[in-house]
């Protein structure tokens, strides 16, 4: 691996806190154990926006989610985005590629069905 920096997309990150033994949870915990989680202000803001939505109330209390957000902010390594990338079929996902390149990340952890080239 390059430098053991990992990018988790928003869906994976949110899912990691919804089910204790899910694949996203296992990926999140392993990434923390063997390396560091990377974030940009754009990816962090998206995570926060999604994670505080009312529809998640039935799974985790807002107070607990705010604590998780604080913990994530404390452990994530933040990177400035250095270049614009427009390669994703979903333009909203470009920010994760931009982060991975800017951080020289080892990999992007996502549930999306992308092919490795």
* 67 Cβ contact list (under 8 Å, min separation 6): none
pLDDT at 39 over 70: yes
Mean pLDDT over 53-78 rounds to 97
Domain locations along the chain: 5-109
Tell me the C-alpha distance between 80 and 102, whole Å: 7
Query: CA of 117: how far to CAs of 18, 114, in Å?
Result: 31, 9
Which tokens sit at 79?
């990177």
Each residue's pLDDT tens digit, 83-93: 899 888 888 98
Q: Which residue has the tokens 């996203």?
A: 24
pTM above 0.85, yes or no: yes
Mean pLDDT over 63-70 rounds to 98
* Topology classification of domain 5-109: Rossmann fold (3.40.50)
């Amino acid at each position: 691996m390059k430098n053991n920096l990992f990018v988790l997309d928003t869906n994976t990150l949110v899912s990691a806190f919804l089910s204790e033994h899910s694949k996203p949870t296992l990926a999140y915990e392993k990434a923390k154990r063997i390396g560091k989680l990377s974030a940009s202000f754009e990816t962090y803001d998206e995570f926060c926006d999604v994670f505080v939505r009312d529809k998640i109330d039935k799974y985790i209390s807002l107070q607990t989610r705010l604590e998780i957000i604080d913990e994530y902010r404390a452990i994530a390594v933040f990177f400035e985005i250095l270049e614009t990338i427009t390669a994703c079929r979903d333009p909203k996902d470009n920010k994760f590629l931009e982060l991975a390149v800017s951080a020289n990340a080892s990999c992007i952890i996502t549930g999306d069905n992308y092919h490795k080239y």
